[in-house]
Amino acid sequence: MTKIPYKTYLSENELPKAWYNVRADMKEQHAPMLHPGTLQPVSVADLEPVFCTELAKQELDETNRYIEIPEEIRNFYKMYRPSPLVRAYCLEEALGTPAHIYYKFEGNNTSGSHKLNSAIAQAYYAKEQGLKSLTTETGAGQWGTALSMACGYFGLDLRVYMVKVSAQQKPYRKAVMETYGATVIPSPSDTTEAGRKILAEFPDTNGSLGCAISEAVEAAVATDKCRYVLGSVLNQVLLHQSIIGLESKAAMEKLEEYPDVIIGCAGGGSNLGGLIAPFMGDKLTGKANPYFIAVEPASCPSLTRGVYGYDFCDTGKVTPLAKMYTLGSGFMPSSNHAGGLRYHGMSPIVSKLYHDGYLDEARAVEQTKVFEAATQFAKVEGILPAPESAHAIRVAIDEALACKETGEEKTILFGLTGTGYFDMAAYMAFHEGSMADYIPTDAELQKGFAGMPKID
Amino acid sequence: MTKIPYKTYLSENELPKAWYNVRADMKEQHAPMLHPGTLQPVSVADLEPVFCTELAKQELDETNRYIEIPEEIRNFYKMYRPSPLVRAYCLEEALGTPAHIYYKFEGNNTSGSHKLNSAIAQAYYAKEQGLKSLTTETGAGQWGTALSMACGYFGLDLRVYMVKVSAQQKPYRKAVMETYGATVIPSPSDTTEAGRKILAEFPDTNGSLGCAISEAVEAAVATDKCRYVLGSVLNQVLLHQSIIGLESKAAMEKLEEYPDVIIGCAGGGSNLGGLIAPFMGDKLTGKANPYFIAVEPASCPSLTRGVYGYDFCDTGKVTPLAKMYTLGSGFMPSSNHAGGLRYHGMSPIVSKLYHDGYLDEARAVEQTKVFEAATQFAKVEGILPAPESAHAIRVAIDEALACKETGEEKTILFGLTGTGYFDMAAYMAFHEGSMADYIPTDAELQKGFAGMPKID
């Protein structure tokens, strides 16, 4: 009998009723976000011109362990959640490993990735506040797609600043967002001062997430009944994404399993932070001791080669400053094929947990190795992974192969954040052998660090 | 409270244990398939050189009402089935209709369409018979993608003859199949005699499904331990696809609903035949009287403008002859954007049911109207439909709007066969206003009819 990937679904009744706020269990909080003008810790009032009020509150909430998920968001979640936890029997067999490999598959909604978990929440709070429109940025296009769907659902207008190189590489991503009713603007653009400034300085720039953020924030502030929303990095996003980890943990409990190793790809940290949250809670409260691995691209190595310090979240330096692992907000990552992982910084929560040793390890991987893993996985497990997700697959396979060497029956859990249907140009490049690996030199990194603000 | 599309999921235990063979309940069988050489009805022995033995038996089975689904296929089905039956509350609200609109969503597996239901069955029987490889053709690429996944899963080699215009329009579809391990050959090609002959006569041809079938059949017969498989038209395929209808019926029973109108898009008839099968059984046995509508593109109108007679299933005239509604196997459909509906003929079962008045109506729709419906649907229901599926959406919306006029609370069920992630070029053409409608002239149709064999 051929083995099949075995899915464990929770019932609709087992859908979590509250998000988990890992900050409530952290021994020490990350350093506060600072106002870019005063360099003082920001308050809800400081954030309100940019963010929805409820989301600004969530951003600064260090104490509430559980935050109830509003009924309308839960109803929407029920369209595609609980998402499946899959035992990768076919992959285990192909590798000949004694390890048990599980993945939480977040690509089974029509936006194709985990981003919808936070998009629908953010659109909901905007609607509740009586707003008419939102602005955001997108890299690979997963966040933009998810938010377009969410805004379509709630009848909100949406402007998406899309990193220029992504808009060029992925015209179909743009078309999907437009089909859902969004306006997509390649960034940098001449629609904002931030964009015009960057274009004047670097007319041939590919754009970056940091730059697109500057434009989206500027556009939101300049528009009536409009706010800015972000798909990663922020505490509120990690809060919403905790549903990934909560469901994973509940499903594993049903199987009487507990992960020894938990692996997530990390760009801004939304998936990784959400996946590990409740397991990290166990670690912080001494209930268990799983080993956490963050996987990032060697071409944009904020955790493995960045510095831990205060930096802007955007290139135009209009956002608050966060203390995080960063390559410097001026760092322009190469146009590798995992657009969702091309961000100069890292979630302050993830950064703090890594700095304090609770997040055990960060590993940088090269993209040809990532696509090798993606292709191997697709053939045996039948899911075509997004390049971002394939970073986690790469390390899960490596860990499982290590178990084969040692004979250890480790239980490995990784996050399969999305599908790669819009990344076929990258798959083609891989098949044709034309995919290049890129690792920034120390000198290139130093240039990025040099532009950072000097704040202790 | 904003309404949400409401999904009814059957439990895994409610997954059907047998396919339903509607032929067992038909008052009269369709005329037999004829051997292309002898013009005599084909036997299992005649079909065996081309088809797997078990599938050849299914093809000719007129008597067994239920055919057990082998355990390994059921296990595979459990990865993505039962598929959701969705109440389209948001669409109903947007239309202001009193109708209840339901759709059976078959796009929630990683191949993106209903084609996987038959692909996994056909690959399973091939594996059981000890075969090493399969050949097939694909138009839009949905069947090729599904079969690539299925062959990858069972370790079978696969050659896919892909209609040339589709291969050009959809390089990414090709890349997906290759990622799953298949070899993709644009058709017509110089790898077969059939292909070379067509290329010599029409060097600039876009290709057609009929032509790709000729090549795939020839290649299968010429290869050791290889057989040919087809993703539509055949009785065996409709049998496997009956799982769509069986699940739909069971889910509607749970909701104490029964459809007044059932709508499916129809190319070769695999989705339509499968969706309506058990409801048609009710009609044939006098238990209920739902109204069935087949929807086809105005550019390839086999049911609405074709003739009912014996014809070849392929352009090269190497396949058996089937009695069906057809535009003639030499008909070259225009390169419209619903590649899955560009076939000259129609399933013999569907044809017979239509001819005898059990399938109540066929409706031809133009593609700009189809994309209008697709875009409207995507915005409110959050699913980006395949162009093929959007044909059914178009008519479902029209029927629901008619209910608004009359005040009737009809229950409408339609098949949402797949997602449109690989059809964004078509969506872009629609957004930009550059999409054209094409309706063949009577003279063009007469040319197709003239090439048909003269058999009563």
Half-sphere exposure of A285 (CA within 13 A, CB side): 12
Question: Whats the size of chain B, residue-wise?
Answer: 456
Contact present, A413 and A104 (Cβ < 8 Å): yes
Tokens standing for B361? 């109506």
Residue B336: how many CA atoms within 13 Å on its side-chain side? 30
- Asked if residue A2 has pLDDT above 70, the reply is no
Distance CA A425, CA A431 (A): 10
Contact call for residues B146 and B346 (beta carbons, < 8 A):
no
User: pLDDT tens for residues A207-258?
Assistant: 888 889 999 999 999 999 999 999 999 999 999 999 999 999 999 999 999 9
- The CA–CA distances, whole Å, from A366 to A122, A267, A299 equal 33, 14, 7
What residues of chain B lie within 8 A of the CB of A76, using their CB? 4
- Please give the order of strands across the beta sheet that includes A85-87: A6-8, A85-87, A100-105, A411-416, A261-265, A291-297, A361-365
DSSP-based three-state secondary structure for A97: coil
The answer to whether B449 and B328 have CB atoms below 8 angstroms apart is: yes
pLDDT at B108: 87
CB contact under 8 A, B179 and A384: yes
Whether the pLDDT of residue A4 is over 70: the answer is: no
> By 3-state DSSP, what share of chain B in percent is helix, strand and coil, each rounded to 5?
45, 20, 40
How does residue A3 score in pLDDT terms, banded at 50, 70 and 90? low
Contact B131, B156 (CB under 8 A): yes
Cβ proximity of A99 and A410 under 8 Å: yes
Strands B307-312 and B321-326: what pairing?
antiparallel
Q: List the domains of chain A with CATH numbers.
A: 20-68+115-228 (3.40.50.1100), 81-112+238-450 (3.40.50.1100)
Q: What is the largest CA-CA distance in chain B?
A: 66
ipTM exceeding 0.90, yes/no: no
Nearest to A346 by CA among A329, A366, A332: A329
Of A317-326, A362-371, B39-48, B330-339, least confident by mean pLDDT is B330-339
Instruction: Name, in order, each residue with C-beta under 8 angstroms of B20's C-beta and a sequence gap of 6 or more.
Output: B65, B66, B239, B242, B245, B246, B277, B278, B281
What pLDDT was estimated at residue B3? Answer: 65
All residues of chain A having their beta carbon less than 8 Å from the beta carbon of residue B424 are 171-172, 175-176
Can you spell out the DSSP letters for B308-327?
A: EEEEESSSSS-SPEEEEEES
* 8 Å CB contact of B153 and A1: no
Residue B414's DSSP bridge partners are B103, B263
CA torsion, ordered B113, B115, B121, B126, to nearest 10 deg: -120
Q: CB distance A422–B421 less than 8 Å?
A: yes
d(CA B181, CA B156): 9
Other beta carbons less than 10 A from residue A201's beta carbon: 9
Backbone angles phi, psi at B226, to 5 degrees: -135, 145
User: Which has the higher per-residue pLDDT, B143 or A12?
Assistant: B143
The model's pLDDT over A289-315, given as tens digits with 9 standing for 90+, comes to: 999 999 999 999 999 999 999 999 988
Report yes or no: B360 and B292 within 8 Å, Cβ to Cβ: yes
Chain A residues at the B interface, defined by Cβ less than 8 Å, are: 1-2, 4-5, 7, 71-72, 75-76, 78-79, 90, 107-108, 110-112, 149, 152-154, 171-172, 175-176, 178-181, 375, 378-380, 382-384, 419, 421-422, 424-425, 427-428, 431
Q: Is the Cβ–Cβ distance between B159 and B192 less than 8 Å?
A: no
pLDDT of residue B74: 94
- Written as six digits, the tokens of B141 are 């690429």
Strands A6-8 and A85-87: antiparallel
8 Å CB contact of B78 and A425: no
Closest chain B residue to A71 measured between Cα atoms?
B1
Quick one: tokens of A438?
């890129």
Q: How far is CA B219 from CA A129, B174, B198, B236, in A?
A: 63, 19, 15, 21
Q: Could you give the C-alpha distances from B212 to A320, A381, B183, in angstroms and in order?
A: 59, 29, 14
Determine contact, residues A409/A99, Cβ cutoff 8 Å.
Answer: yes
Q: Tell me how far apart the alpha carbons of residues A291 and A223 are, in angstroms, rounded to a whole number.
A: 45
In the predicted model, residues of chain B with pLDDT beneath 70 are 1-5, 335
Paired tokens of A253: 């409990």
Lookup result for tokens 């929807």: B295
Count of beta carbons in the 10 Å neighbourhood of residue A256: 6
pLDDT of residue B136: 97
Structure tokens at A10: 């929770």
Residues of B in contact with A183 (CB under 8 A): none
CA gap A1, B333 in Å, rounded? 43
Residue A32: which residues within 8 A CB-CB, separation 6 or more?
A41, A42
Tokens of B413: 């069920």
* Number of C-beta neighbours around residue A364 at 10 A: 18
Residue among A88, A83, A95, A123 nearest A6 (CA): A88
The Cα B381–Cα B385 span in angstroms is 10
Considering chain A, what is the average pLDDT of its residues? 94
With CB atoms and an 8 Å threshold, state whether B4 touches A75.
yes
Please give the DSSP secondary-structure letter assigned to residue A228. Answer: E
B154:A424 CB<8 A: no
What pLDDT does A263 receive? 98
Sign of CA dihedral A246, A251, A254, A260: negative
Q: Answer yes or no: are the C-beta atoms of A308 and A327 closer than 8 Å.
A: no
Q: Are B154 and A421 in contact (CB < 8 Å)?
A: no
CA A39 to mean position of chain CA atoms: 27
Rounded Cα distance, A370 and A376, in Å: 10
Phi, psi of A305 (to 5 degrees): -130, 0
DSSP B212-240: HHHHHHHHHHTSTTEEE--SSSSHHHHHH
Looking at chain A, the number of H-run helices and the number of E-run strands are 18, 15
| Residue A180 main-chain phi, psi, to 5 deg | -80, 0
Are A168 and A339 in contact by the 8 Å Cβ rule? The answer is no
Average pLDDT in the A10-39 region? 94
With an 8 Å Cβ cutoff, are A154 and B2 in contact? yes
With CA atoms as reference, report the closest residue to B201 among B107, B106, B111, B315: B315
Beta-bridged to residue A184, according to DSSP, are: A160
- Is there a contact between A76 and B108 if contact means CB atoms under 8 Å apart? no
- Residues B375-398 have pLDDT tens digits of 999 988 889 999 999 999 999 999
Q: Which of B319, B329, B339, B338 is nearest to B163 (CA)?
A: B339
> Residue B30: CB partners within 8 Å, gap ≥ 6?
B323, B324, B348, B349, B351, B352
Q: Give the residue from chain B lying closest to A91, CA to CA.
A: B153
Angle subtended at Cα A29 by Cα A24 and Cα A35, rounded to the nearest 5 degrees: 120
Q: How is residue A167 written in tokens?
A: 């808009």
Q: Which residue has the tokens 């079909």?
A: B47
Q: What is the pLDDT of residue B316?
A: 83
Instruction: Give the per-residue pLDDT at A281.
Output: 98
Q: Give the pLDDT of residue A314.
A: 87
- What's the rounded Cα separation, in Å, for the pair A109 and A177? 15
Tens-place pLDDT, residues B193-227: 999 999 999 999 988 888 899 999 999 999 999 99
**Per-residue pLDDT band at A79 (split at 50, 70, 90):** confident
Nearest by Cα to A385 from A110, B154, A94, A376: A376
Q: Round to whole Å and give the CA distance between A50 and B326.
A: 61
Instruction: Write out the residues of chain B at the interface with chain A, using a CB-CB cutoff of 8 A.
Output: 1-2, 4-5, 7, 71-72, 75-76, 78-79, 90, 107-108, 110-112, 149, 152-154, 171-172, 175-176, 178-181, 375, 378-380, 382-384, 419, 421-422, 424-425, 427-428, 431
Nearest to A168 by CA among A206, A113, A135: A206
Token output for B237: 């395929």
What pLDDT, on a 0 to 100 scale, did the predictor assign at position A7?
Answer: 72
* Token pair belonging to B310: 């014996």
- Which amino acid is present at B58? Q
Question: Which of A16-30, A155-169, A426-440 has the highest average model confidence (pLDDT)?
Answer: A16-30
Q: Give, as one character, the DSSP assignment of residue A29.
A: P
- For A181, nearest residue in chain B (alpha carbons): B379
| List of residues 6+ apart from B13 with CB closer than 8 A | none
